[in-house]
Amino acid sequence: MESKAAVETVEAIGASVSALAVFVDRAVGSVPLNGDEVPRGSSVPGLDPLRDQADAYLDGLAELARTEARLAALKVQLVAGYARTEKAMTPPAASPQDCMVRDMAVTAEVAGVLTISERAAGNLQVEANILTAGRPLTMAALQAGAISWRHARIMVDETENVDPAGAAELEAHFLDPDAPDPARGCPAGELVPCRFRAKVCTWRERHHPGSIEKRHARSSADRRVEYTPDSDGMAWFSAYLPAAQAVGIWNRTTDAARAMQGPGEARTLTQLRADVTSTWLLTAGRRPKAEGNTGSAIDGITDEFGAVPSPAAQVLVTVPVFSLLGLTEEPAMLDGYGPIPPSMARALVADGAASFLRVLTDPRDGAPLEIGRISYRLTKQMRQWLRLRDAKCTFPACNNHSLDNDADHLLAWARGGPTGISNLGQSCPKHHRLKHNSGWTPAAASTNDPPGWTSPAGRHYRSEQPDWEPPHWPPRIQAMLDHLDPPDEGDPCTPEIHGVTERPVAEVPFGNGHEAA
């Protein structure tokens, strides 16, 4: 079976190479860049030869990406096949020491053939064994060129501590369009790897058999600060912290850095963040020790264990209502991070009310119902909804965080575009400029779905939609619902519990300003 799969992969690679040759011939050999000649091999000149040539280059790149994926699938099959063949040749009576030496020899052989380190060869063997033996949908997608090698490695990483049934369910959610609950929005292969990892991690946390509270408690014990010297008189300073604290520090630092920007400030936002952080840690907020106090206090944070306050910068948290009430233990979602333990979300409610912006979700399908208000300014309310809907810059492959982005009309106000959520999108400053100064145009959006984009070449890139799913119901309430009789059809007084098809639209105020800044 494995040999047959390898042969099929080779045949697919051959087809890809043939198609690639056609695209390269169209692109490189058809018409020179000065446009003086008609396309080679064509009796009818193209209406726009240069446009045809540019499209051929892009088609070639797309086919090359599929070919690279198929080559990666073949490498995985060959590595796994070689390791299994060598294992089959090991005498049954061999001692554990002999088996270990044989495994080391196999790893060294693979490393030598591929000219990589033995550590990298060992990792490749592990990944190849997992993919060929236990991730059939991932292997099939890789062989078809539908996902890249990085996507396949992410699937291996994120299913490492999940039981086989859970791993199969995760695979099906993202790679099987006929699954009972397929992922919404872009197919996996159209997401850049870092965004694919974020979506896989979010889904895994919601379905992980182990309690996120227990796993967070174990990981929290490992919190630490690290220092690593680097070259050119520089060094790395990092901290491993609970997510709410880390995101709050990042947002507060960003707010301070953005406030310092202006015509007379030459430093970039990244440089300002670094300078603000250094200044705060080294000088800001130092106060003399109080009499009888042997500790110190910096900006209101004492050195007593557990005295770190909730973040002062605004933090957006999406909380399933039953989890907020303590009836279930499913994760909440922290803007700029991902899934967090429900106890952390409840602590933000209790301790950081001034900076915590609550988002309740529909207990039927997980979509947002309403967003907490902290201001009467309508444009700010809309901006918070955009943060919830988009989470990042909506441009393809951009991972810029929502706090750094600009709210902008998709259809310009001057051309009749309304100031409503379905006509707004978040773009980082770079892609905001690109929208106004190039042929890149955003596509339509909705209240809950961000816009896709269309390139100057006419290629459409779909948006990365939020992958909402129904929250967990408390067992007692679920038991009550299971024993309810179905409602009578046409009875206007009967609440819709079974077969809900529509969700009430969130009431988000729409402003009438000329710019949603």
* Greatest mean pLDDT among 21-30, 141-150, 336-345: 141-150
Percent of the chain with pLDDT over 70: 71
- Whether the pTM exceeds 0.75: the reply is no
Yes or no: say if 122 and 114 are a contact pair by the CB < 8 Å rule. Answer: no
Under 8 Å between Cβ of 389 and 506:
no
Using alpha carbons, select from 383, 314, 387 the residue that is nearest to residue 354: 314
Q: Which residues are 416's β-sheet partners?
A: none
Beta bridge partners of residue 236, listed in sequence order: 228
Using only C-alpha atoms, what is the Rg of the chain? Answer: 27
> Please, are residues 334 and 315 in contact by the beta-carbon 8 Å criterion?
yes
Locate 406 and state its tokens: 């600009």
Helices 49-88 & 96-114 angle (0-180, nearest 10): 160
d(CA 203, CA 162): 12
Q: How far apart are the first and last CA of the chain?
A: 58
Beta strands in 275-337 (DSSP E): 297-298, 301-302, 315-320, 332-334
Q: What is the mean pLDDT of residues 300-327?
A: 56
- Going by C-beta distance under 8 Å and a sequence separation of 6 or more, which residues neighbour residue 55? 457
Q: Do 173 and 183 meet the contact criterion of CB atoms below 8 Å apart?
A: yes
Residue pLDDT, tens place only, 54-107: 888 888 899 899 999 999 999 999 999 999 888 888 777 667 777 777 888 888
Q: Is residue 410 part of a domain?
A: no
Residues 6+ apart with CB under 8 A from 95: none
Residue 341 lies inside a defined structural domain of this protein? no
pLDDT number for residue 480: 78
pLDDT confidence of residue 4: 74
The CA angle 10-15-18, to the nearest 5 degrees, is 125
d(CA 128, CA 138): 11
pLDDT of 292 > 80? The answer is no
Take residue 434 and report the two structure tokens written for it. Answer: 């690109």
Pair of tokens at residue 122 = 């060992």
Query: Is 262 a domain residue?
Result: no
Please give the structure tokens belonging to residue 5.
Answer: 């799969």
Given a cut of 80, whether residue 300 has pLDDT beyond it is: no
CA distance 257 to 357: 22
Q: According to the model, what pLDDT value does residue 173 have?
A: 92
Q: Is the pLDDT of residue 433 over 60?
A: yes
β-pairing verdict for 453-454 and 441-442: antiparallel
User: Residue 240 above 90 pLDDT?
Assistant: yes
Query: Residues 375-407: pLDDT tens digits?
Result: 323 356 667 777 777 777 888 878 776 555 667
Closest C-alpha to 145, from 77, 66, 76: 66
| 482 part of a folded domain | no
Q: What's the mean per-residue pLDDT of the chain? A: 75
CB 497 within 8 A of CB 487: yes
Give the whole-angstrom CA distance, residue 199 versus residue 206. 11
Q: How far apart are CA 173 and CA 206, in angstroms?
A: 13
Residue 118: domain span:
2-214
Predicted local distance difference test score (pLDDT) of residue 347: 74
- Angle at alpha carbon of residue 132, lines to 130 and 135, rounded to 5°: 65
Q: Give the DSSP letter of residue 461.
A: E
Tokens of 305: 């264990």
Residue with tokens 């009310």: 353
Structure tokens at 106: 């196999």
pLDDT in tens, 186-227: 889 999 898 899 889 888 888 877 777 888 888 888 899 998
- Cα–Cα distance, 411 to 429 (Å, whole number): 18
| 381 domain residue, yes or no | no
Position with higher pLDDT, 124 vs 465: 124
Q: How many domains does the chain have?
A: 1
